Amino acid sequence: MKLKRNAWRCLSLCLLLWSISSESAPAATDSSVVEKAKAEGEVVLYTAWGLDTVQALQKAFTKKYPFIKFDVRRTGSERLLTITITEHKQKLFRADVFSGSHLAMINHKKAGHLQKYISAEQKAFPNEYKDPDGYWTAYYMDTRVLAYNTRLANRDNLPKTYEELLLAKWKGKMAMDDADYILYGSLLEMMGRERGLSFMKKLAQQDLIIRSGHSLLTQLLIGGEFPIYLDGFGSNIEKFKAQGAPIDWVALEPVIVSLNPVGMAVNAPHPNSARLLVDFLLSKEGQEVGKSVAKIPARTEVDPPYPRLTKGLKLFPVPVSVA
């Protein structure tokens, strides 16, 4: 009996030690990791994020870790993927961390450009905002909303559901991006294939105004080129609204939410600095940096820059099958 009790105590102790170590092991802020990062002295981020976001992150991260030079290679998601594929074929591993759109990170994962790194900060994020295999976690998210020009459309008369987009009075008055697969794919998921395809065929008959690029569409909306933009980024609309532009938005629920993840590069030349950067981005401090440039933090306890972007809304995070 005594042997059994001792064995049980030993097993319990082992389980306790294992649970502690498994929780703390991913933490890049351990002193040993910081010391190794000092020796590396550099971290390289490959990203498709906006310049304002990248510059804010560089400033904050360098302030926290002044001994690490923060280098950035910033270009479009497709271009960045092509560059990385070419580099890897040549056995050149220059990136430490990747960030970009949901689709970009899925493609990097498929191409073998990412390695698993489960940051200790990851537990503060909902499951739908992180890769189930541990390759990436969302840094920020975008709510996709119906944006409108306040001089051309009355809020009370706007569509209140996706189905109301099909009303005859909106024919020829709605604009959307020419490559808006997120909207199409998400509606298929929400409505089911048969109903979704039927809806989109009817939507295509609404004489949609098609342009290329969300930034351009937002500017054209502000300029009065059309009254409604179907798939605007909520945070961008709020930012321009705060600057006095004649623009606002309404939510069609469930609100489509696209993710912008971060992940550690395979064969990262500065692995310890990479861990520090990923941990920083996912930390409350790092999430506040994103919030400061009007990004919606993906971390649960950090509020969005404009509360109405998510408060009280039914959200639909874009699934992997759509992204």
47 and 108 belong to one structural domain:
yes
Q: Are 152 and 227 a contacting pair, CB within 8 Å?
A: yes
- Does residue 299 share a domain with residue 210? no
Q: How far apart are CA 109 and CA 107, in angstroms?
A: 5
Q: Evaluate whether residue 6 is within a structural domain.
A: no
* One-character DSSP codes across 39-97: HH-EEEEEE-S-HHHHHHHHHHHHHH-TTSEEEEEE--HHHHHHHHHHHHHTT----SE
- CA dihedral over 165, 167, 169, 173, signed as positive or negative: positive
CATH number at residue 36: 3.40.190.10
Residues present in the chain in total:
323
Q: Are residues 124 and 159 in the same domain?
A: no
H or E stretch covering 200? helix 193-204
Residues 151, 253, single domain; the answer is yes
In a domain, 8, yes or no: no
Q: Is residue 104 part of a domain?
A: yes
Is there a single domain that holds both residue 124 and residue 269? yes
Which helix (H) or strand (E) segment holds residue 74: the answer is: strand 69-74
**What is the predicted pLDDT for the residue at 31?**
83
Instruction: State the pLDDT at residue 5.
Output: 47
What single letter denotes the amino acid at residue 227? Answer: P
CA-wise closest residue to 92 among 274, 265, 277: 265
Are residues 56 and 101 located together in one domain of the fold?
Answer: yes
- One domain for residues 148 and 292: no
Secondary structure (DSSP) of 228-253: EEEEEEHHHHHHHHHTT-SEEEEPPS
Q: Which of 111, 89, 90, 91 is nearest to 100 (CA)?
A: 111
* 44 & 123 share domain: yes
135: domain range? 28-140+258-304
- Do 164 and 132 fall within a single domain? no
**AA letter at 184:** Y
- Supply the pTM of this predicted model: 0.84
| Residue 16 to residue 278: CA distance in whole angstroms | 27
Q: For the chain, how many structural domains are there in total?
A: 2
161 within a domain of the structure (yes/no): yes
Task: Report yes or no on 274 lying in a domain.
Answer: yes
User: Which amino acid type is present at position 193?
Assistant: R
| Same domain (yes/no): 132, 58 | yes
Are the beta carbons of 49 and 74 closer than 8 angstroms?
Answer: yes
CA–CA separation, 87 and 152 (whole Å): 49
Domain-located, residue 9: no
| pLDDT (0 to 100) of residue 174 | 98
Query: Residues 199, 228: one domain?
Result: yes
Asked if the structure places residue 314 within a domain, the reply is no
pLDDT along the chain (323 residues), means of 10: 45 39 47 95 97 97 98 94 96 97 94 97 95 96 98 97 98 94 92 96 97 94 98 95 98 97 98 98 98 96 95 91 67
* Position 61 in a domain: yes
Question: Is residue 69 domain-shared with residue 152, that is, in the same domain?
Answer: no
